[in-house]
Amino acid sequence: MTNPPGCCHPCATCLLCLYSCQWITAKKEKRKGLRTTKCDCSWFLFLFCVFLFTLVWLYFVIIILNDFHNFNEFVFKQRKLWLDWSLVLLIATAVLITYSAVLLVLALCLQLCGQPLKLHWLHKTLLILTVLVVAAAFTGLGIKWAEEWRSARVSLQATGPFLHIGIVGGMTLLAWPLASFIYHTRNTGIMVFLLLVYCVAMIALYLAPLGITSPCIMEENQLPPKPALIGHRGAPMLAPENTLMSLHKAVNCDVQVFETDVMVSADGVPFLMHDEELTRTTNVQAMFPKRATLNSTAFNWTDLQKLDAGSWFLERRPFPTVQSLSDDDRDWVMKQKIPSLKQALDAAKQNNISIMFDLRPENHSDYQSFVNATLEVILESGIPLQQVLWLPDGFREQVKQQAPGIQQVFGRKRLQNEKEPLLHVNLPYQDMSSEEIRQYRQDNISVNLYVVNQPWLFSVLWCSGVSSVTTNACQVLKEMKHPIWLLPSSTYLMIWIVVDCASFLAILWAFVLLKKCSQRRLPAESETDVLLTKINSLMQE
């Protein structure tokens, strides 16, 4: 193979060195008469598939970042080790996709330079390892975190139109090395097969928008009101979760509801705590080392008040935002204690926000006494009952009788034969489609979805018409005055047509231009072949 015009020998030599891991000049390679074999083509196809595989994994990683704090908590409960595993995952993913992308670019450049694709065995081994690692990651995701597959479905509503444009652009660029390969190969069968596959793929991509739906493809005047914000354990990116500081920080973020978790101490005092153990969010290991692994409800209120509920926040830095805290906020963090439910109700009443909570643990033998103690504190606090949102399912009828003014929030969808109409539902964001959200909105049912931290996800739910979202990132979502993107259907149709036409013209240009280049090289190659034949004859004589 000869180098096309504009591809210098030093460049081709460098590409061969990186791709084949051998310092062989392009001239020597040409003298050896090496060509790209079917095996080499198979490895190039494998390389291309590995790149796509890692690209899909990168997409999933970006999507699951919204829920990664839950994974960090899960690992801590299992191993008592706190680390921001999202950073580890991002670095590992970046390394894998960068490696496969660099190899792919080298292969495409070699093809355009007319050089053979002799992939070194070391690269082949590393590519196989890359596939195994990513496949293991997908398998683990499916086994331990299956709901993230539904998160991907939601994400496609936000990214579908832009993914389509990106894929069309990538496939259009692929026309250059494809055309170069077709004009160099002498195997008609492979040439016809590749052309057929490429044409079918491009036609499918050109028509893909017919199946792309997104709630954010709508007219500006059809956009629903911005969803209300519910602070998940307060404002946990700005203050230790389930503390009074977290509640006040949430108020500053304009949240309308403070979402928390309630447990009842051994002496009957309801207090705020999410975990069944105190090890993650307090210094119980230092204060009561022999009782550190006991259930939170095994401690009396006097002992709970001795615990520091703030220092862990500065030590473990559960969110990157901890680094940007002011000195005054850091001092405030160090003073945090476990608050009682009464203190939280007083703060909510004073700041005129609602409070929504779960009562844990649901399987406790004294759960009814927990319900009674919690109701007693609520009724004695003087907070307007309509500001209290009750999540627990256990003894719900008793709660309705003793405190009928409390708003009942259900963690399920409505049933077909619902005896009493649901007014409020609280569900994971993966559990409701845009169509269901719109239907509930038409039926005057308030829908709250959790936990929503990323602006892209908030934008999709905003366009869908959700009533409110529970979030860790109230300081981020507060600043959003508009969804990230909103396209009228006519504008999207115009973009679709323009992108498809530009892609078709670019592909046509690539094939025509490379056809002319290949035709110019044919006479030169023929003259060279004749000259080499004469020299060979003279040497034999």
Question: What pLDDT is stored for residue 9 in this prediction?
Answer: 65
pLDDT tens-digit map of 45-81: 899 999 999 999 999 999 999 999 988 998 898 888 8
Residue 523 sits at the vertex; the CA angle it makes with 518 and 525, to the nearest 5 degrees, is: 80
> Does pLDDT of 36 surpass 50?
yes
Q: Which of 529, 521, 506 shows the shortest CA–CA distance to 114?
A: 521
pLDDT at 178 over 50: yes
pLDDT tens, 259-273?
999 999 999 999 999
Confidence bin at 7 (pLDDT 50/70/90)? low
Which pLDDT score, from 0 to 100, does residue 181 have? 80
Band (11; pLDDT cuts 50, 70, 90): confident
CB-side neighbour CA atoms (13 Å) of 19: 28
Interval 492-510: pLDDT, tens: 999 999 999 999 999 999 9
Instruction: Summarize the confidence of residues 76-103 as an average pLDDT.
Output: 92
List residues bridging with 356 in a β-sheet. 259, 389
pLDDT tens-place string over residues 527-541: 544 444 555 555 555
**Cβ atoms of 113 and 7 closer than 8 Å:** yes
**Higher confidence at residue 228 or residue 140?**
228
Q: Which pLDDT score, from 0 to 100, does residue 77 have?
A: 86
* d(C-alpha 14, C-alpha 139), whole Å: 38
8 A C-beta contact, residue 337 and residue 361: no
pLDDT at site 370: 97
Q: What is the mean pLDDT of residues 475-488?
A: 96
**DSSP letter for each residue of 149-196:** HHHHHHHHHHHHHHHHHHHHHHHHHTHHHHHHHHHH---HHHHHHHHH
What pLDDT does 6 receive? 45
Q: What percent of the chain has pLDDT over 70?
A: 91
Burial of 262 (0-12, 13-18, 19+ CB in 10 A): buried
Fold classification of 228-479 is TIM Barrel (3.20.20)
What pLDDT band is residue 31 in, cutting at 50, 70 and 90? very low
CB 149 within 8 A of CB 142: yes
CA distance between the termini of the chain: 28
Q: For 109-162, how does the pLDDT look when each residue is reduced to its tens digit (9 = 90+)? A: 887 777 778 898 999 999 999 999 999 999 998 887 888 899 999 999 999 999
Whether the CB-CB separation of 43 and 119 falls below 8 Å is answered with yes
Residue matched to tokens 């444009």: 165
Mean pLDDT of 197-219: 94
Catalogue the long-range contacts made by 440-449 (C-beta closer than 8 Å, 24 or more residues apart): 440/414, 441/224, 441/465, 441/467, 445/414, 445/421, 448/230, 448/409, 448/424
Segment 225-250 mean pLDDT: 98
Domain(s) of CATH 3.20.20.190: residues in the chain: 228-479
What is the model's pTM? 0.88
Separation of alpha carbons 541 and 366, rounded Å: 107
Q: How many residues does the chain have?
A: 541
Tokens of 445: 């049912």
**319-351 core/surface letters (b: 16 or more CB in 10 A; e: else):** bebbeebeeebeebbeebbbbbbbbbbbbbeee
Cβ contacts of 275-278, under 8 Å, gap ≥ 24: 275/77, 276/360, 276/361, 277/77, 278/307
Q: Is the pLDDT confidence value at 8 over 70?
A: no
Interatomic CA distance for residues 113 and 268, integer angstroms? 78
425-471 confidence digits (pLDDT tens): 999 999 999 999 999 999 999 999 999 999 999 999 999 999 999 99
Burial of 29 (0-12, 13-18, 19+ CB in 10 A): buried
Question: Which of 30-34, 285-289, 392-396 has the least mean pLDDT?
Answer: 30-34
Contacts of 438 (CB under 8 A, 6+ apart): 464, 465
DSSP 477-512: HTT-SS-S--B-HHHHHHHHHHHHHHHHHHHHHHHH
Give the other-Cβ count within 10 Å of 222's Cβ: 10
* pLDDT tens profile 407-417: 999 999 998 88
The per-residue pLDDT of the chain, averaged, comes to 90
